[in-house]
């Protein structure tokens, strides 16, 4: 049987008929072609005629109990009456029926049936038996939504989809389960769910339709699609999916890149389990950079030196680990540094560099700059960590309280001070900036931090963390695919992702000398 539905089922749920009607119209205007109408959200009895005056695409009628994540306030008898009314109303092409009532409410007319199971606590051990029973309940589509307790739960759901005997929509809820929502399409799910308004709190981890369409190649994902991911904890703030998926689409590559929240203690087990997908490459962020360096079968010289990696690439003999933070930082500084008198590139050798911070990003940059021959001084709020890093790279460590003493040619902020939402903070006093020196901030959100604003006003040459982030992402993409990334396009993509309003203002002000740049979210130096 052909389902003939869009790959995104957009969920609309509001308490007032007026707002439901508005959202139905707006959802279609924004591209929705298949909508689930959550009748359990309505505060009053359903007025079908009032709602369906705005019908413009196939609709699913759902009346969800509180035990299944819904808001139905009445009795079960009343709920089932509303479901039957929806079925016979003639307004809905689909109805959602929980597995325990699907045998009671029989098929009627041409209305297709989604038989569903929801578990907001776990992925039950007997999920296979539950699913087998559901497949025998006269379903046009079987739906399973369960709560992930570990990243490996995603794999359980995807394997169930891979063997599905009939059309099945299955995913894990919660932030740990997000990859399954996207990758379900790779394993044969006819559609996935998205919220029209994700602020409604419809289901844990449910993305918005606009985010799905803007970030992921929803209509192109298939069995042959290669999978890449970014690992971290937390991971929701990552902009890597926007960048990598945009590049895949631009270069017409059959690939998708997803965020994976992986708690520290579950990293190795997750990497081992995901071998069966497989995942062809990972970007790695906090807190996993040091651990992945020990788990790879082969490492780059920079990883061997720093004992930290931000990139894993699948090879025939296992994973190859690299660190693109380090070269990205050096090239970011070089991109704004003045050339020498003879026209050759900026020479780092012998330059005085003050580096603020001692976390993972600081470590990579410290090693990279020392390899360039600079005289490095490190100051961090955690003085013991600064001493350790200084000893490791052959630098000098000073106390945080005296960081303003002495001179420098290059000043680098590797702390999160000034990062959104604390945008009125700066790691240094304005008097510390020296005209014509180079000031580099690894924070990229906002791009123009108070640290950089003040440095620019004092006549410094500035480069922001955006430049570093773009360059390290570009190097990762090249390692994943062998393709040269368009860096300028990546810069514009990241600016739009961080803030459409800020991006518009920056575009209007081009030519005013605004510095550009980026970096990964910095690891704290505490």
**CA–CA distance, 345 with 100 (Å, rounded to integer):** 71
Are 283 and 229 a contacting pair, CB within 8 Å? Answer: yes
Assign residue 385 a region: left if phi > 0, alpha if psi is -120 to 50, beta otherwise?
alpha
Residue 218 CA, chain-centre distance (Å), reads 15
Distance CA 457, CA 439 (A): 12
Q: What is the CA angle 413-418-420, rounded to 5?
A: 130
- Residue 123 belongs to what H/E stretch? none
Helix or strand or coil: residue 272? Answer: helix
Cβ neighbours, 10 Å, residue 18:
10
Burial 58-85 (b: 16+ CB within 10 A, else e): bbbbbbbbeebbbbbeeeeeebeebbee
Find the angle CA(343)-CA(348)-CA(352) to the nearest 5 degrees.
130
Nearest-angstrom CA–CA distance, 62 and 57 = 16
Residue 120: strand, helix, or coil: coil
Q: Are 119 and 172 in contact (CB under 8 A)?
A: no
The count of residues in the chain is: 526
Q: Is the peptide bond before 234 cis (omega within 30 degrees of 0)?
A: yes
The CA angle 350-369-281, to the nearest 5 degrees, is: 160
Give which of 149, 124, 123, 151 is closest to 268, Cα–Cα: 151
The residues annotated with a catalytic role in the active site are 289
Dist. CA 161–CA 292, nearest whole Å: 29
Q: Are 302 and 326 in contact (CB under 8 A)?
A: yes
**Residues 192 and 213: beta-carbon distance below 8 Å:** no
């Amino acid at each position: 049987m052909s389902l003939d539905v869009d790959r995104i089922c957009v969920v609309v749920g509001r308490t007032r008929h007026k707002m439901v009607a508005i959202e139905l119209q707006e959802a279609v205007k924004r591209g929705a072609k298949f909508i689930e109408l959550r009748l359990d959200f309505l505060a009053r009895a359903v007025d079908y005629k009032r709602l369906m005056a705005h019908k413009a695409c196939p609709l699913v009628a759902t009346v969800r109990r509180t035990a299944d994540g819904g808001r139905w306030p009445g009795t079960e008898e009343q709920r089932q009456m509303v479901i039957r009314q929806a079925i016979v109303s003639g307004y809905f092409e689909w109805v959602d029926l929980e597995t325990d009532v699907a045998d009671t409410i029989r098929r009627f007319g041409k209305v297709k049936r989604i038989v569903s199971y929801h578990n907001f606590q776990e992925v039950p051990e007997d999920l296979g038996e539950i699913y087998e029973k559901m497949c025998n309940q006269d379903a046009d589509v079987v739906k399973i939504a369960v709560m992930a307790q570990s990243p490996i739960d995603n794999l359980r759901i995807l394997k169930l989809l891979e063997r599905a005997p009939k059309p099945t929509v299955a995913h894990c809820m919660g932030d740990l389960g997000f990859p399954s929502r996207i990758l379900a399409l790779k394993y044969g799910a006819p559609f996935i769910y998205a919220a029209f308004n994700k602020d409604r709190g419809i289901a844990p981890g449910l993305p918005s339709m606009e985010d799905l369409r803007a970030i992921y190649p929803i209509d192109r994902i298939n069995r042959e699609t290669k999978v890449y991911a970014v690992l971290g904890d937390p991971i929701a703030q990552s902009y890597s999916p926007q960048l990598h998926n945009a590049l895949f689409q631009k270069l017409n590559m059959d690939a998708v890149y997803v965020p994976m929240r992986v708690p520290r203690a579950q990293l190795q087990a997750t990497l081992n389990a995901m071998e069966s997908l497989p995942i062809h490459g990972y970007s790695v962020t906090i807190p996993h950079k040091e651990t992945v360096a020990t788990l790879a079968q082969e490492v780059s010289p920079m990883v061997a030196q720093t004992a930290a990696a931000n990139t894993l690439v699948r090879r025939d003999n296992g994973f190859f680990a690299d660190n693109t933070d380090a070269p990205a930082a050096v090239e970011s500084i070089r991109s704004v540094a003045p050339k020498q008198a003879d026209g050759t590139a900026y020479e780092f050798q012998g330059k005085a560099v003050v580096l603020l911070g001692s976390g993972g990003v600081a470590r990579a940059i410290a090693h990279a700059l020392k390899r360039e021959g600079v005289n490095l001084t490190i100051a961090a709020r955690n003085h013991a960590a600064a001493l350790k890093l200084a000893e490791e790279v052959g630098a000098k460590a000073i106390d945080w309280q005296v960081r303003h003493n002495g001179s420098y040619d290059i000043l680098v902020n590797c702390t999160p001070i000034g990062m959104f939402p604390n945008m009125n903070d700066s790691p240094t006093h304005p008097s510390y900036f020296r005209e014509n020196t180079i000031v580099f901030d690894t924070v990229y959100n906002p791009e123009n931090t108070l640290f950089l604003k003040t440095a620019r006003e004092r006549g410094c040459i500035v480069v922001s963390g955006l430049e570093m982030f773009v360059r390290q992402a570009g190097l990762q993409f090249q390692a994943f695919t062998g393709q040269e990334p368009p860096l300028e396009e990546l810069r514009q993509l990241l600016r739009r992702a961080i803030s459409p309003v800020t991006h518009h203002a920056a575009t209007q002000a081009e030519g005013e000398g605004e510095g550009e740049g980026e970096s990964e979210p910095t690891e704290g130096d505490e």
